[in-house]
Amino acid sequence: MAMINKDISYTLLKSIVRRANAASPSTLRFRQAQRTTFNAATTKDFPQEPRPVANPPTTTATDTSNNNDNNNNNNNNSNDKIFDFDDTKALFASVSTGKLMHSAATLNVAAMEPMVDLSLWVINSRLMDVGLFRAVVLTTIKHTAYSHFVAGADTLETGQTVRRLWESGLRGIVDYGLEHANDNESCDKATQHLARSGSTCIIRTGLGSLNYGLMLLKVSFVAVKVTAVCPVYLLRRVSDLLRWEYKNSSFKLPWKQQSLPIFAETSPFYHTLQQPAPLTADEEHDLELAYKRLQTICDKSFESNVPVVIDAEDTSIQPAIDYMTYWASFKYNKSKTPMVYGTVQAYLKDAGERLFLAKKGADKAGLPVGFKLVRGAYMSSERKLAHSLGVESPVHNTTNDTHNCYNRCAAFMLDEVCMRPGGLIVATHNLESAKLAAQKAREYGITKDSQKLEFASLYGMSEAMTFGLRNAGFGVSKYLPFGPIDQVMPYLLRRAEENKGLLSSSNLDRKLMTKELRRRMKAYFGKGMKEGENQIKP
């Protein structure tokens, strides 16, 4: 254990413990009330197939934190135990005391809603226009939330983070922080950064490694946002045309290349209410440039044998993103292990059906495909737009429906990849979903070395789940956004919103980190007292 100043450390530790144990009786009653059971039926079943998708779990909760206690009990009574949260020494064995204290302090501050609300107000206020004030605020953020949730400012710092993760038994998914580009010039710059991300981090994490083979293992994926390599206006145009083609079979798209099914009958089509104009010559040229940029990123990543995972966006532009993902899949997924992964957002009502159709289309074409499964990030804006148009929201009506859809999609893909080529990234902060996927993978004998399954979560979040899965023998990666603090500020604001409140998804992490810090401090001071006693013995 790292040596620390006893007085300062003990004072800070007591503060953290008080915060973690400060839940009032009313808070505890609310926490108990939040524990709910799964609805056994989903709003949309998968189409019939030879082997049925595994049934969803019978119990869950609206988020990870609300079922932590139940999960612990279920795990302890299970014959197929995945998580062991009783042994915090083993769980956090790879985390230094300094890092553990910093993480616990950051998450506990993030749980104080007034503090987070004040911070958000300050960041969005005109006070940030004052040079000295802005410098003080950004410096504070850099040493707290930024260092906790962001891998680094550039590829050098990110490479160091990747190396530390590797030493902890984890890998990194490298994600350059730029989210949207509006013209070809900014797309070209983003492409250069993305193309360097994976290979540069690999090279820089390799310093001092035993061999180059180990370097290649440290970065599991390079994350790509198509919105950073193709102007958003063009993605909207292409999405409109793809929707119109699906609803009108006689409508042809001369620029369209080989793809997989993009839509289901239940997909939202209200974005395109009338026939869109064909792409102009300039727009077709810009689309060709977007192909080339994505190809540049893929080529550079594949030189280092690092797969690419393409992120999802909102439904207005997602069809174009899926189209480009499948285009890249046909171009690069030549072996049994996919090199290009798409993303499915389980909070959408059509997610399960689209996943089924795309996978079956790929099987028919003899194409290995990989998917990252997430819940989704645009619920509020999707519902707001649908409401303004007077149409049904594309988002599931309840949180339990989203949980069910996620777990069914994960089970379906595990059923598929256990006997066919393909891959799955279970990207979640939900303990129940992770446990169900891990149990099913264990039943099928899908191991860490199979390259068929990877668990993933955001850097700085769900640490207990991350280390628990690692200890259970699964491949686990952390999603590593990186970039200058100004550039990743929108990302940090979202993380602050997600982690605030005693019932946020970071509740389990705070609880277990505090428990481990107490254990370490007790062992440290106990050792010191014992040594002192030995010294005064005659």
Q: Is the Cβ–Cβ distance between 38 and 400 less than 8 Å?
A: yes
Classify residue 152 by its DSSP letter: B
Mean pLDDT for 19-41 is 37
Q: Are 225 and 178 in contact (CB under 8 A)?
A: yes
| Whole-Å CA distances, 32 to 25, 36, 83, 483 | 11, 9, 22, 40
Residue spans of beta strands (DSSP E) within 180-331? 219-224, 308-310
Q: Which pLDDT score is estimated for 13?
A: 40
Q: What is the pLDDT of residues 286-339, one digit of tens each?
A: 999 999 999 998 998 888 889 999 999 999 999 999 999 999 999 999 988 999
Instruction: Give the residue-averaged pLDDT of 208-217.
Output: 42
Tokens of 401: 């429906």
* Closest C-alpha to 57, from 40, 45, 36, 80: 40
- Quote the CA–CA distance of 374 and 346 in Å, as a whole number: 6
82-98 pLDDT, tens digit per residue, is 999 999 999 999 999 99
Confidence (pLDDT) at 23: 44
Q: Please indicate whether residue 236 or residue 485 has the higher confidence score (pLDDT).
A: 236
- Alpha-carbon distance of 489 to 483, in angstroms, equals 10
- CA neighbor of 388 nearest in space, from 275, 274, 271: 271
Spatial CA neighbour of 453 closest among 430, 486, 427 = 427
Cα(534)–Cα(525) distance, integer angstroms: 14
Task: Find out whether 186 and 516 touch, Cβ atoms under 8 Å.
Answer: no
Q: Compute the CA torsion angle 459, 461, 462, 464 (nearest 10 deg).
A: 80
The predicted structure's pLDDT at residue 17: 41
| pLDDT band, residue 203 (cuts 50/70/90) | very low
Residues in the chain: 538
- How far is 143 from 301, CA to CA, in rounded Å? 31
Report, as an integer, the average pLDDT of 64-89.
Answer: 60
- 177 pLDDT higher than 70: no
Pairing of strands 171-176, 219-224: parallel
SS3 345: strand
Mean pLDDT of 99-118: 89
pLDDT above 70 (res 198): no
d(CA 200, CA 57): 42
Contacts of 297 (CB under 8 A, 6+ apart): 191, 194, 195, 222, 224, 229, 308
Which has the closest alpha carbon to 353: 98, 138, 48?
A: 48
Q: Which residue has the higher pLDDT, 10 or 463?
A: 463
Of the pLDDT bands very low, low, confident and very high (cuts 50, 70, 90), residue 217 is low
Where in 418-526 does DSSP place strands (E)? 423-427, 453-458, 476-482
Whether the predicted pLDDT of 353 surpasses 70: yes
Across the chain, mean pLDDT equals 81
Angle subtended at Cα 395 by Cα 312 and Cα 316, rounded to the nearest 5 degrees: 45
| pLDDT at residue 34 is higher than 90 | no
Report helix, strand and coil shares of the chain as percent, to nearest 5.
Answer: 55, 10, 35
**Range with lowest mean pLDDT among 111-115, 341-345, 433-437:** 111-115
CA–CA separation, 179 and 187 (whole Å): 10
Residues β-bridged to residue 8: none
Radius of gyration over alpha carbons of the chain, in Å? 24
Query: Which amino acid, 41?
Result: A
- Please report the pLDDT score of residue 75 as a whole number: 41
pLDDT band at 187 (very low <50, low <70, confident <90, very high): confident
What string of DSSP letters covers 368-429?
A: --EEEEE--S-HHHHHHHHHHHTS--SB-SSHHHHHHHHHHHHHHHHHHHTTSS-EEEEE--
Nearest to 166 by CA among 214, 224, 96, 128: 214
- Which pLDDT score is estimated for 351? 98
Q: Is the pLDDT of residue 63 over 70?
A: no
DSSP string, 57-106: PSEEESSGGGGHHHHHHHHHH-SS-----S-HHHHTTTS-HHHHHHHHHH
pTM of the model as a whole: 0.81
Q: How far, in Å, CA of 14 to CA of 518, rounded?
A: 9
